[in-house]
Amino acid sequence: MTTESSGSWTRFTTSGDESTRSNIVQSVPLIEFDIVSPSMTGPHEIRTAIRDEMTTVLIGNERIIDYLSISLLTRGHILLEGVPGVAKTTIANGFARATGLDSKRVQMTPDLLPADITGTHVYKEATGEFELQRGPVFSNLLIADEINRTTPKTQSALLEAMQEGTVTIEGETMTLPKPFMVVATQNPIEMEGTYELPEAQRDRFQLKATVELPNEENELALLKRFDDRPTLSPADIERTVSPEDILAARETVAETHVSESVRRYIRSIVAATRDHPELDYGGSPRASLAFLQVAKAHAAIHGREYVIPEDVKRMAGPVLVHRLVPNTQAQLDDRTAENVVTEIVADVSPPSSDAAKSSPTATISEDGGFVEDSDENPDDG
């Protein structure tokens, strides 16, 4: 705690948890306080701050929020799939609010053109010249709502932006803001008037996450919350992190240790999809690279400086399912890519925990300090 005096007043500046601040306020009731939030520099702290803020509106979507954080911290993009009414767009909008990123939302429709996303040159009668009108892709977070309702031609307008972080308009290549992230949504049950994403487009999404219907407990809690506050919306979510926090956390994720045994484990899982008898196409090297990055981020947001096999197992489905193409026989047998990934993860032997660590490490405790590593669940709520 620090103090600052000027004339007739003294300011105490402190950081820490709410109980500590409350005790100080009670002991010195007539002194002005300037409360400073704890430093938001690590992936673990950022993940916690985003989850805590978003769950003031959302209930039961912590897993999806974590996937969004992982994509953001690894320069990835995410596809959210779910039936109508499970809050896919609300989650995306809430994430934009919590991260403070400049966001744009595009409702993807059959008549949407590529230029409606990227932008184009528009003739200005007042000046007699063409002026660049930038599209919504020039933002930090682009929400492509119901992406499978627009044509493949328009869907492909996102390819360069997602892969290179640039957009080319009439021969001129422009760099997009950093960070840049695409959050797309789609409805899996209503196929009339839709255009399934081609394999090349799906492969650009680092992760695919399914937003499930809430269980009884969460739905009852949701009804209670909105009964008490009927106007609650993503607009009530406050910014919790800064772009500087995000960029710093990205560096931490990049430095997360991955042992040779874990890299071989990742490669073995991806390679098993290429030879699987129920798949026409398995994971590409891009899938392997995405797998490596999200495993590092999963470890980092749980406060570890190294990747363990459990990080790999947890992220196998979101990384691989949308990249795999089941063959005709598998479809006739009602076998899905999810079934295949589950079996592969069960069949491929992971390295031992000791081999996976192979580096001195520590874990961030609840109060932000470091403690010796334990066998805690890496997906702890």
For residue 27, pLDDT over 60 is answered with: no
Per-residue confidence band for 271, with pLDDT thresholds at 50, 70 and 90:
very high
**pLDDT bracket for residue 19 (50, 70, 90):** very low
The pLDDT assigned to 218 comes to 96
Q: Which residues pair with 105 in a beta bridge?
A: 143
Measured distance between the N- and C-terminal CA atoms of the chain, rounded to whole angstroms: 32
With cut-offs at 50, 70 and 90, classify the pLDDT of residue 308.
very high
Q: Is the pLDDT at 254 greater than 70, yes or no?
A: yes
The model's confidence at residue 189, banded by pLDDT at 50, 70 and 90, is confident
pLDDT of residue 11: 45
Residue 235 has pLDDT above 50, yes or no: yes
| pLDDT for position 355 | 64
What's the confidence (pLDDT) of residue 41? 66
Q: What mean pLDDT is reported for the chain?
A: 85
Read off the pLDDT of residues 320-368 as tens digits, 9 standing for 90 and up: 999 999 999 999 999 999 999 999 999 999 998 666 665 444 333 333 3
pTM of the model: 0.81
Q: How confident is the model at residue 125 (pLDDT cuts 50, 70, 90)?
A: confident
Give the rounded percent of residues in the chain with a pLDDT score beyond 90.
Answer: 72
Pairwise CA distance, residues 346 & 359, whole Å:
26
Split at pLDDT 50, 70, 90, the class of 30 is: very low
The residue among 346 and 196 whose pLDDT is bigger is 346
Name residues whose C-beta falls within 8 Å of residue 231's C-beta, 6 or more positions apart in sequence.
Answer: none
The answer, yes or no, to whether residue 226 has pLDDT greater than 50, is yes
Q: 216 or 361: which carries more pLDDT confidence?
A: 216
| Rounded mean pLDDT, 275-286 | 95
Q: What is the pLDDT of residues 34-85, one digit of tens each?
A: 333 444 569 999 999 999 999 999 999 999 999 999 999 999 999 999 999 9
pLDDT exceeds 60 at position 17: no
